[in-house]
């Protein structure tokens, strides 16, 4: 048996083994003296002009109920190191707070005679006037720098703002089922610890129907997702900014293309080129970047990015910058590594481009969202049949009993886009796939053809080719508008010209890679 007698502290308290922090009274007194005031330049966020209207719709849907919308908490990466914090999407939507402002914050909509009063609960500042200034590695400003507190968040959001210490008693106020008390709803996935607290308050107050409570929480999440289907002007602007930055990220990829060729993990050289732009021009990545070269391209979710890039192959790049307001672009382009499409590559590329246009042309006010899918699938099935790959008729393949063409396109061809790259996923099926096109909707159209290297049902010259073309679309009163195509070329001629132009600014091999670097 191992000897553990030398340290009786719980494992959770041993994270400070790596450092020896002084804890004497003399040191504590010394650390709270001699600091000048650290002022913050705090102004109202532009989002504060838009969030009242968003919250008003939410309030009208749940009269008399207390709605709890947590920002969530930082996720542990390993030991005492966290991933960069990103607030929960629903919280970001109704508060307008982006980036990594405040983990642990909670928005509460408290019912009153006129609807609801919105109150934001946040941590107070741990500045030089508090001992937590140097004690708290999570919130102490000695560790993390000056951060907004109660007063600052009130200015930024326009919300009444209170200390987080008051949250529990506020939530529990008048939660009594027998006397017509206030029911609670919470975005339960955002902060599991807070959800457990709310469940305890409900139980103590007599709201003991667990399945019913879960259903009510799901209804809140569902409503928020369906409300986000329709973007306001600020949201469209944020998405446009994200798309513009994404174009710059693709530019940087193409400038590094030559330096990635035949290099171990060349895909990661290109990944790094995009990710650097995402951090400079936005909050970061909207999702993990896909760099799929050669036979990796038919792998839909290839995110290892560990292989080499070779001349004569295609490289499929699916990437999106997340704006500082947390709105994500989502664009895919497929490039010929040597700058020119071969005849067979061009044949597949043009088929995918034609399918994407068919999906775009299917977007008409009053039509259904699923029309995009059906239009893209018909176009792809027709080409596959014409090429002799699809052995059954187009109509048989498109029937529910057939679907043979889906061997080469198993995924969907579109999804809503916004604060989440796959936005509004909690919406009801009939509001999503069966929902009609209305102004303010933003979604992607992303058909593809994926011929795996070991697929014996396709001609040998097509095996190992994967092509996806993805763009972002806004529905307006006048019909659909491409958001991304004005920024990111997509015709084969324009793509080839784009590669040639960026190669004029080619970046030297700046990533040192050993000749024997490991590759999967």
The confidence band for 85, taking pLDDT boundaries of 50, 70 and 90, is: very high
Task: State the chain's maximal CA–CA distance in angstroms.
Answer: 85
Alpha helices by DSSP H, listed for 306-420, are 343-361, 370-386, 394-398
pLDDT at 134 > cutoff 90: no
453, exposed or middle or buried, with CB in 10 Å at 0-12, 13-18, 19+? middle
E strands, 79-189, where?
81-82, 106-112, 115-122, 160-163, 184-186
* Token digits of residue 73: 């908490």
Say what the pTM is. 0.94
Burial of 193 (0-12, 13-18, 19+ CB in 10 A): exposed
252, 277 Cβ separation under 8 angstroms:
yes
What DSSP string runs through 257-286? HHHHBT-TTHHHHHHHHHHHHHHHHSSEES
Q: What is the pLDDT of residue 100?
A: 83
Give 378-418 pLDDT, tens digit per residue: 999 999 999 999 999 999 999 999 999 999 999 999 999 99
Quickly tell me which residue has 């995402």 as its tokens. 278
Closest CA to 143 of 152, 155, 130, 158: 130
φ, ψ of residue 221 to 5 degrees: the values are -65, -40
Burial class (CB in 10 A: 0-12, 13-18, 19+), 350: middle
CA geometry: angle 177, 180, 185, nearest 5 deg = 60
Give the model's pLDDT for residue 386: 98
pLDDT digit string, tens, across residues 147-160: 999 999 999 999 99
Contact 289, 442 (CB under 8 A): no
How far from 287 is each of 282, 322, 329, 450, CA to CA, in Å? 13, 8, 9, 21
Question: How much is the average pLDDT of 447-464?
Answer: 98
Rounded percentage of the chain residues whose pLDDT exceeds 90: 83
Instruction: Say which residue the tokens 């699923």 belong to.
Output: 370
Helix (H, G, I), strand (E, B) or coil at 230: coil
User: Which strand (E) or helix (H) includes residue 450?
Assistant: strand 448-451
Q: pLDDT of 34-47, one tens digit each?
A: 999 888 889 999 99
Whether the CB-CB separation of 132 and 192 falls below 8 Å is answered with no
Q: Give residue 512's pLDDT.
A: 55
Query: What per-residue confidence (pLDDT) applies to 400?
Result: 95
pLDDT in tens, 272-285: 999 999 999 999 99
Q: pLDDT value at position 2?
A: 58
Tokens of 340: 């020119």
Residue 467 has pLDDT above 90, yes or no: yes
The DSSP letter of residue 43 is -
Specify the pLDDT at position 12: 64
Are the C-beta atoms of 171 and 200 separated by less than 8 Å?
Answer: no
Residue with tokens 């006037």: 129
**Across-strand partners of 226?**
none
Does position 519 have pLDDT exceeding 60, yes or no?
Answer: no
In angstroms, the CA 464 to CA 469 distance is: 17
Which pLDDT band holds residue 6 (cuts at 50, 70, 90)?
Answer: low
Q: Are strands 479-482 and 160-163 parallel, antiparallel or unpaired?
A: unpaired
How close are the terminal C-alpha atoms of the chain, in Å?
A: 40
Q: Residue 53: its pLDDT value, please?
A: 98
By residue count, the chain amounts to 520
Domain annotation for the chain: domains and CATH numbers: 45-227 (3.40.350.10), 233-503 (3.90.230.10)
**Predicted local confidence at residue 39, as pLDDT:** 82
Asked if residue 369 has pLDDT above 60, the reply is yes
User: Measured between alpha carbons, how far is 378 from 398 in angstroms, rounded to an integer?
Assistant: 7
What average pLDDT is seen over the chain? 93
* Residue 447: partners with Cβ closer than 8 Å, 6 or more residues away: 352, 355, 356, 359, 376, 379, 380, 409, 413, 468, 469
H/E stretch holding 30 reads: helix 25-31
Q: What are 420-439's pLDDT values in tens digits?
A: 999 999 999 999 999 999 99
SS3 assignment for 488-508: CCCCHHHHHHHHHHHHCCCCC
Write the secondary structure of 288-342 as one string of H (helix), E (strand) and C (coil).
CCEEEEHHHCCCCCCCCCCCCECCCCEEEEEECEECCCCCECCEEEEEECCCCCC
């Amino acid at each position: 048996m191992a000897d553990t007698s030398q340290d009786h502290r719980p494992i959770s308290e041993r994270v400070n083994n790596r450092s020896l922090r002084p804890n004497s009274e003399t040191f504590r007194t010394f650390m709270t003296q001699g600091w000048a005031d650290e002022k913050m330049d705090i102004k109202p966020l532009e989002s504060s002009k838009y969030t009242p209207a968003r919250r008003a719709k939410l309030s009208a849907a749940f009269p008399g109920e207390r709605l709890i919308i947590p920002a969530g908490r930082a996720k542990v990466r390993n030991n005492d190191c966290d991933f960069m914090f990103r607030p929960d999407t629903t919280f970001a939507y109704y508060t307008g707070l982006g980036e990594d402002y405040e983990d642990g914050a909670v928005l509460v909509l408290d019912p009153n005679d006129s609807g609801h009063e919105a109150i934001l609960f946040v941590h107070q500042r741990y500045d030089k006037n508090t001992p937590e200034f140097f004690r708290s590695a999570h919130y102490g400003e000695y560790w993390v720098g000056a951060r907004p507190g109660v007063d600052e968040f009130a200015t930024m959001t326009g919300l009444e703002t209170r200390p987080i210490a008051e949250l529990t008693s506020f939530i529990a106020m008048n939660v009594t089922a027998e006397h017509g008390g206030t029911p609670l709803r919470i975005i339960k996935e955002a902060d599991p610890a807070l959800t457990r607290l709310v469940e305890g308050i409900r139980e103590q107050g007599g709201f003991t129907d667990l399945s019913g409570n879960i259903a009510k929480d799901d209804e809140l999440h569902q409503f928020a997702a369906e409300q986000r289907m329709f973007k306001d002007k600020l949201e469209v602007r944020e998405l446009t900014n994200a798309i513009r930055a994404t174009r710059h990220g693709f530019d940087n990829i193409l400038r590094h293309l030559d330096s990635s060729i035949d290099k171990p993990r060349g895909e990661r050289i290109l990944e790094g080129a995009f990710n650097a732009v995402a951090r400079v021009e936005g909050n970061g990545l909207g999702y993990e970047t896909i760099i799929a070269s050669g036979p990796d391209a038919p792998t839909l979710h290839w995110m290892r990015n560990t292989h080499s890039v070779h001349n004569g192959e295609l490289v499929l790049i699916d990437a999106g910058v997340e704006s500082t307001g947390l709105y994500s672009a989502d664009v895919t382009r497929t490039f010929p590594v040597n700058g020119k499409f071969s005849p067979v590559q061009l044949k597949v590329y043009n088929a995918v481009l034609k399918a994407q246009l068919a999906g775009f042309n299917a977007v008409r006010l009053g039509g259904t969202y699923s029309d995009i899918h059906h239009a893209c699938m018909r176009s792809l099935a027709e080409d596959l049949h014409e090429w002799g790959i699809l052995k059954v008729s187009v109509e048989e393949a498109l029937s529910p009993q057939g679907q043979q063409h889906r061997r080469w396109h198993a995924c969907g061809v579109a999804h809503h886009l916004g604060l989440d790259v796959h936005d509004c996923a909690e919406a009801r099926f009939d509001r999503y796939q069966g929902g009609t096109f209305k102004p303010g909707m933003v979604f992607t159209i992303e058909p593809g053809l994926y011929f795996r290297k070991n697929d014996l049902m396709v001609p040998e010259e097509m095996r190992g080719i994967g092509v996806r073309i993805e763009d972002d679309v806004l529905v307006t009163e006048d019909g659909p508008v491409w958001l991304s195509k004005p920024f990111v070329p997509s015709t084969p001629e324009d793509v080839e010209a784009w590669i040639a132009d960026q190669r004029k600014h080619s970046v030297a091999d700046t990533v040192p890679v050993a000749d024997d670097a490991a590759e999967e």
